[in-house]
Homo-oligomer: A and B are copies of this chain.
Amino acid sequence: MAKLTRRSATENAANADALLLLSHVQKIISLSADEATLFTSCLESKVVKKRTVLTREGEVCRSSLFVVDGALKSYLYDGQKDEHVVSFALSGWWIADMQSLIYQKPGKLLIESIADSRLLSLSKEKQEMLYKEIPQFERFFRIITEKALVASQQRIINNLTLTAEDRYLHFMEKYPFVLECAPLHNIASYLGMTPEFLSKIRRRITSRAT
C-alpha cells in the first residue's frame, strides 16, 4: 500500500510537470482537449540527481529535454581534463545536442545535470508524430527555435564585443542559479576564459563592491 501511494505521488508530480509544459505550449498555440492529451502522453518524466549524464558523446541524440526544475549543461569533453561548456539550460528551457538530434548522427556533446532536476523528455519520434497529427507544433517549435537562435547569436555578439568582466557581469544577471550550482571552471569555460582569469575578475568585482 505504501508502495502504491509513493508511486501515485510520483505520477502526480509527473502529471503536474506535463501540465506546466502544456501551459508554456498554450501561450504560443491553442490546442483542443484531445490534442493536449496527445501532447502530454508523448512526454516522459525524468527525475535526476546532480551530475547525471543524460546524453553521451558518440551516441545519437534521440530526444529534447525540457527543464521543469533544476539545471543542465551541455559540453564537449576533450578526453584529457578539459570540459568546454557550450550551453546551460534552466527551468523553462529546452536543451538537446541539436546537430545530432536533427541529422540523427552520433553527437559530440554530453548533457549533464548540474543540480537535482525534474525533466520532461520528448523523443524525436514522438516530436515527428506531433508534427503530423497536430501541425500547429511546427509553429510552436519554429518560434522556440527562433528564440534559441537569437540567444545563440547574442552569445556570439557578447564574445565579440564585451570585455571579459562585462561578459561575467552579464552572466551573473542572466544565470544567477548557475552561479550557485556550477563549478567555477564550468562558468569560466562557458565565458571562454581560464578559471584563474575568472577568479581575478571576481576578486576585482568583490573588492569594488566592499
Contact = CB atoms under 8 A, between A and B. Distances in A.
Q: Is the interface of A mostly helix, strand, loop or mixed?
A: helix
Nearest to A139: B138
Interface string A187-208: 0010010000000000000000
Nearest to A102: B146
- Identical subunits present: 2
Given A138-B139, A155-B156, A156-B156, A84 B161 contact: yes
A173 interface: no
A19 interface: no
A112 to B, nearest CB: 16
Interface of A: 76, 78, 84-87, 98-99, 102-103, 108, 131, 135, 138-139, 141-142, 145-150, 152-157, 159-161, 189, 192
Given A135-B138, A138-B142, A145-B149, 16 more contacts: A76-B157, A76-B160, A76-B161, A98-B146, A98-B149, A102-B146, A102-B147, A138-B139, A141-B142, A145-B145, A148-B149, A149-B152, A155-B156, A156-B156, A160-B189, A160-B192
